[in-house]
Structure 1
Amino acid sequence: MNHTTQHEGDTEAVQHPPTRESGHGEDAEARKRHQEKADNEISNNVKESVLYWQEEDTIPVSMEDIKQTLQDTVGLGKSFDVVLREMNFGGRKVGIFFINGFANSLLLSEVLDRLSYVSPGDISSNALESYFERFIPHVQVELEDKMSAVINKVLTGVSAFFIDGAHQAILVDTRSYPVRGPEEPTIEKVVRGARDGFTETLMTNIALVRRRLRDPGLKYEIMQVGRRTRTDVCLAYIDDIADKKLVDSVRAKVKKIVIDGIPLADKQLEEAMTDKKWNPYPLVRYSERPDVVASHLLEGRVVLFVDTSPSVMILPTTFFDLCQHAEENRQSPFMGSYLRWIRFAGIFASLFLLPLWMLMVISPELKPPILDFIGPQKAAKLPLIIQFLLIEFGVDLMRMAAVHTPTPLASAMGLIAAILIGDIAVQTGLFVNEVVLYMAIAAIGMFATPSYELGLANRLIRLVLLVLVAAFKIKGFVIGVTAILVLLTVHRSYNSSYMWPFIPFSAKGMLSILIRKSVMEDEKRPSYNKPRDSTRMPEHQGGT
């Protein structure tokens, strides 16, 4: 099919050449006209294509007409994985339509085995109802009378049974996608805790969360995005906790996305929903851990699952949310608070350590006497700002090289690059020792940031601060820090303050950020989520 940018369901622009002539395939002139009709087709979706070829979105009575429609719309006979298996059961011609890579052969074999025992006497005048009620040994079965709906369902992995003479098709869920087992996420590893993580299969991911939340209020709403990819997107929330306005807003934003497809799954969906353009800070939090997602659902957050993605989107989120890690909740409150402070210190160092050091080197009068030791003991051949820029780009090159290097070689390559290149650069006089030292500390802080997207954003802000300090000294640093605070303050994640509980200030919220409370003391859900039920542990009534 040739496609334009019209919206799905807009059938006014569908062209309707004359209907298909009888004897198609036998007459050369008819074949020529059919080919011209195929070349002139302009359809945005399956429904428009079906209307183009047969003028109404119904299931043809004749099996030959069904085959012809499938050939014209989905390439039956051209695409090797599109299969229509014709058989005869009980004296009726039956066509089983499925995608070869999605259909579970064992389930199909069981259904066909049961149908093989059907005799003509078992079939009533209404063959479809007999097949549906008596002879399909499967749980998930439904009837459909729209040809476009049948084709769309089959493209998701469902198998369709067409019966000669019937205006409806039987849809049997025989889906079996290629999957891998749940494995521990590489980014969100914990010393103690669950080792299962999300996979690329939507049903597996929602089941992992449902296993942890056996709440009847947990709702999963399925939608599809992309007129070509028709990617499954699942909106998850707890009905009596989540803010209704937030749920409605997220649902509306997903449904109004008009795009060819989102083959890169959740990241493209985020861009289509948020339209944040050039703001480096993430508006949503990504997680590959079912226990983390379940915890956020209990706080009143909304979660978006996208099929083919092993990570999910959690929203709304804040800057301080992105700085927390599951490991803090796997330790005692005291140790969890200690780990949180160390992580905050690393994030602060990744942002401000290099600009502050360079500011004190450029303006020595700013250094207090206790910090007299700060500053390069030897001069280098390159200016400080050039050294910092080169080493920043070098760290990024090492990171990208490690991603594209086979795992057994990545560690060795990192050691070689860090030790040999850094040492040689210092010995040749290009860099000073302190630049390499402080850059290493800042890089460790960046890699210790739980959110990969937040770490990258902080790195970019650090570069901007370095350039401002080199150009304007103390004024540049003050202007840069002020601009960052303003940027984060006006930054909003689905109408929620990005800097909560710092701006607007909340003493209780800030205390919960700095100190990890024990489970029994954490009685209230975060207020910025606007939960309908803000109490985690309601008072017992009636002595029960």
Structure 2
Amino acid sequence: MEFSTSISDNMNYLNNKLDVDGNFDLNYRTFYVGGKVACLYTIEGFTKNDVWQKLMEDFSSITPEDMPPDIHEFAKKYFPYTQVSLVKDEFTMIKNLLSGLSCLFIDGYDRCFVVDSRSYPARSVAEPEKDKVMRGSRDGFVETLTFNTALIRRRIRDPKMTVEIMNMGESSHTDIAICYFKGRVDDALLNKVKSKIKNVKVDALTMNQESLAECLYPHMWFNPFPKFKYSERPDTAAACILEGNIVILVDNSPSAMILPSSIFDIIEEADDYYFPPVTGTYLRLSRFLISLLTLFLTPLWLLFMQNADYIPSWLQFIKLSEEPQVPLLFQLLIFEFAIDGLKLAAINTPSMLTTPLSIIAGIVLGEYSVKSGWFNSETMLYMSFVTVANYSQSSFELGYAFKFMRMIMLILTAIFNLWGFIAGVALTVCAVIFNKTIAGKSYIYPLIPFHIKELKKRLFRGRLPHQSK
């Protein structure tokens, strides 16, 4: 429906449509502008009152003789504010209003003034808890979309840096910002992503980026290896944009979705670049090696325990010091589930009780569980290493992918012995190799297809481009 020149008709329709009497946070106020009735609609908690106080002062000085018949002329002469647009249909006006913009009607004009005088509630841009670095910037994304785009703009001051706004969700109308660098981005992938966002029908992005990710890549949901890289660091997002990646920001989410992403992209961290090349290379290779150890350590140890003759003489110390009372497979699987239980408990534990309860849990699950006969000390040692080492990389999704594949290898090894271990390794390799990025390219490039120069860049941190001769 398009608006009419009669403000009473517009108000009657909108007051009924918006249920202004039933919504306490939806405010409207009538006043006079140049002798004509005007009505202002706002959402409580979203509006900067000082902006409208200044605008009201300016409007009060307008006389009936000053009122132009054309709404565009009025906007040019008497609206001393930069972020003003004219809307002629109720759908766009209501969507803008519920997004926090202010909407002004003046009798005699068939359009609505939409004024961006929003002031979103927001927390400070502190360093994210998960993506911490030993050296580097300490700011992080927040839940407000405009703040997040500003943090990226602060780092890339180039007109080729583009931020397109779209919205998704028939009920939520969630704002989505697509950030990319013209001339470096894959245009085919960019058009594919924008087309999917525009055409996918979904009621609401209830889970923010996860809902969007499942809409963008609905295939092969059973493969646990992540298709996207997530980061709460604006410096990481800015660096990815400069490399030609697409960064997607979703309103109400404090993390950026980076695509396309291979497994090498996901394992990379900001610390690799905040230190000199030698140190950065060491950190990167250590992370790769530790990630592989978390995946293969316990299944390989279980294989050796089931086949003592496989153990070389220099590894005899890994044998069990005591005969297990509970089968090793069950010990390892119980630990896998117990660790997740402790994670969930830590999330829901009040902060003042976190330290004492952690100490109690460590004592109970450590010394007492071994003395009770439920677990062997060697099982405790290897699972403790896997648990701690799993945090050497910041991706939760990749950590759980390793966990699922590790549990499958444990079960297959326990049932089918050596052939089960080989089958588990083959299944893991296939899950990685046959996985694809959202662009349809290899998930493990530059290994497949093999590219020696790119592989060196992935494994060894070289000098930055602006430092090369």
8 Å CA contact 1:110, 1:137 repeated in 2? no
What secondary structure, in the 3-state scheme, does the structure 2 residue paired with 1:496 have?
coil
CA separation of 1:522/1:243 partners in 2, compared to 1, >3 Å: closer, same or farther? farther
Q: Show structure 2 runs of 5+ residues with no match.
A: none
1:233 aligns with 176
Q: What's the CA shift string for 1:200-220, capped at 9, x where partnerless? A: 011110110011111211111
Q: What is the rounded CA distance, in whole Å, between the counterparts of 2:107 and 2:239 in structure 1?
A: 52
Give the partner amino acid of 1:503: I
- Map 1:99-110 → 2, pairs under 5 A: 99-110=43-54
2:286 aligns with 342
Given the alignment of the two structures, is residue 273 of structure 1 paired with residue 189 of structure 2, yes or no? no
Q: What is the rounded CA distance, in whole Å, between the counterparts of 2:448 and 2:352 in structure 1?
A: 45
Moved more, 405-414 or 149-158: 405-414
2:15 aligns with 71
1:518 aligns with 463
What secondary structure, in the 3-state scheme, does the structure 2 residue paired with 1:325 have?
coil
- Which of the numbers 413, 418, 426 marks the counterpart of 1:469? 413
Q: What is the rounded CA distance, in whole Å, between the counterparts of 2:144 and 2:277 in structure 1?
A: 35
Q: Which has the higher contact order (CA 8 A, sep 6+)?
A: 2
Shift of residue 125, structure 1, vs aligned partner: 3.7
Question: Cα RMSD between the aligned structures?
Answer: 1.5
CA separation of 1:476/1:283 partners in 2, compared to 1, >3 Å: closer, same or farther? same
Given the alignment of the two structures, is residue 361 of structure 1 paired with residue 305 of structure 2, yes or no? yes
Q: What is the rounded CA distance, in whole Å, between the counterparts of 1:413 and 1:261 in structure 2?
A: 38
- Map 1:489-504 → 2, pairs under 5 A: 489-494=433-438, 495-504=440-449
8 Å CA contact 2:33, 2:106 repeated in 1? no
Q: What is the rounded CA distance, in whole Å, between the counterparts of 2:435 and 2:246 in structure 1?
A: 19
Give the partner amino acid of 2:207: L
Give the partner amino acid of 2:270: A
Percent identity (aligned): 34
Structure 1 length normalisation: TM-score? 0.83
2:140 aligns with 197
1:54 aligns with none
- Map 1:186-225 → 2, pairs under 5 A: 186-225=129-168
What secondary structure, in the 3-state scheme, does the structure 2 residue paired with 1:355 have?
helix
Give the partner amino acid of 2:459: L
CA separation of 1:270/1:157 partners in 2, compared to 1, >3 Å: closer, same or farther? same
Give the partner amino acid of 1:109: Q
- Which of the numbers 345, 348, 366 marks the counterpart of 1:422? 366
Given the alignment of the two structures, is residue 486 of structure 1 paired with residue 443 of structure 2, yes or no? no
Given the alignment of the two structures, is residue 306 of structure 1 paired with residue 250 of structure 2, yes or no? yes
Shift of residue 521, structure 1, vs aligned partner: 8.2
Q: What is the rounded CA distance, in whole Å, between the counterparts of 1:338 and 1:233 in structure 2?
A: 37
Shift of residue 522, structure 1, vs aligned partner: 8.4
Q: How many residues align?
A: 467
1:296 aligns with 240
2:58 aligns with 114
8 Å CA contact 1:303, 1:313 repeated in 2? yes
1:8 aligns with none
1:37 aligns with none
2:190 aligns with 247
Q: Show structure 1 runs of 5+ residues with no match.
A: 1-56, 524-536, 538-544
Shift of residue 130, structure 1, vs aligned partner: 4.8
Moved more, 258-267 or 222-231: 258-267
Structure 2 length normalisation: TM-score? 0.96
Q: What is the rounded CA distance, in whole Å, between the counterparts of 2:466 and 2:147 in structure 1?
A: 33
8 Å CA contact 1:241, 1:299 repeated in 2? yes
Given the alignment of the two structures, is residue 506 of structure 1 paired with residue 451 of structure 2, yes or no? yes
